[in-house]
Amino acid sequence: MTRALAYCAFQESEGVSLPATGVQGAAVREIAEGSLRVLWSEVDWPFQPPQMQQNAVEFHQVISHVFACTAVAPFRLLTVFEDRPSLEQFVAARARQLSFDLERLRDFVQMECVLYVIGERVQAGAGLSADNMEMKADLLRAIQRSAFEVKDALAGTSPEMRIRSVKSGSRLFALVRRGAEDRFRAIAESVSLPERVSRRTSGPRPASEFLSDILKA
C-alpha cells in the first residue's frame, strides 16, 4: 500500500533547487497551484518502526534543502494523505493563505531561545513541600521575567516574537531576517540571568510558529 507523503510548501522563484529523493529514497515530486509549490513523495505505508528514525532524517533533509534557498511552510513530520488527489485538494483549499504567509515570511527565519532551570525540571506540586513549591514558583517567575528581558533586548532585531511556557521554563520564538542569526545569538546570550537559570539558543529554522493559525492546525 502506498500513500502521498507531504514535505513542505514554498513559492516558486529562481535559484530554488529541489532534492531528487526523500523518504524511503522515493522521488520528490511537485504539485503546482499558481506560484505555490508543494513537495511530496509516494511512499510505502504503513511506516516500519525500525526505519522511523531514518525516515524522519530523510524528511527533514528535503525541507532543509529547500529552506536553504527560500521560506518554506513545512508539514508535520511524516504527514501522509491517501493519494495525490487528496493532497491536491488539501493544498487548493489553503493555497491563498499559504502564498500570503510565504510571501510575508520570505526574508525571515525562526530563531529560538529557551530559558530553563539548571540541573532539574520545574515540576508540578505533587510530592513537594510548601517551601519547595514556593521556591520553584519563584524560579518560574524569574524565568518569565528573564524571557521578557531577552524579548526587550531583541526588539531591534526581530519584528515579531512570541513567548510560550514549557515544563521547565520559557521558550521564546523570534522572527529574524536571514543573515541576522549571529546578531540574534549575541543579543540573546548577553542578557544577564538569575542564579540557577540558563539558556539555549537554536535555529535558523522555518518560521512555522509564525504561520497563520489555520495552517499550523
Tell me, what's the pLDDT at 124? Answer: 47
pLDDT (tens digit, 9 = 90+) per residue, 72-128? 999 999 999 999 999 999 999 999 999 999 999 999 999 999 999 886 554 544 455
Rounded mean pLDDT, 11-15: 90
Which residue carries 524579548 as its cell? 151
Tell me, what's the pLDDT at 180? Answer: 97
Tell me, what's the pLDDT at 215? Answer: 80
- CATH architecture of the domain covering 108-216: 2-Layer Sandwich (3.30)
* C-alpha to C-alpha distance for 197 and 115, rounded to whole angstroms: 7
Rounded mean pLDDT, 1-16: 95
- Count Cβ atoms within 10 A of the Cβ of residue 89 and give its class: 0-12 exposed, 13-18 middle, 19 or more buried: exposed
pLDDT (tens digit, 9 = 90+) per residue, 153-208? 999 999 999 999 988 899 999 999 999 999 999 999 999 999 889 999 999 999 99
Please tell me which residue, 133 or 114, carries the higher pLDDT value: 114
pLDDT bucket at 58, cuts 50 / 70 / 90:
very high
Q: 211 vs 2, 9, 13, 61, 100, CA distance in Å?
A: 29, 12, 20, 21, 10
Tell me, what's the pLDDT at 138? Answer: 85
Which residue carries 511556557 as its cell? 165
Tell me, what's the pLDDT at 51? Answer: 97
**135, pLDDT greater than 80:** no
Q: 100 vs 74, 189, 198, CA distance in Å?
A: 15, 33, 37
* C-alpha to C-alpha distance for 90 and 86, rounded to whole angstroms: 6
CATH 3.30.70: which residues of the chain? 108-216
* C-alpha to C-alpha distance for 115 and 147, rounded to whole angstroms: 7
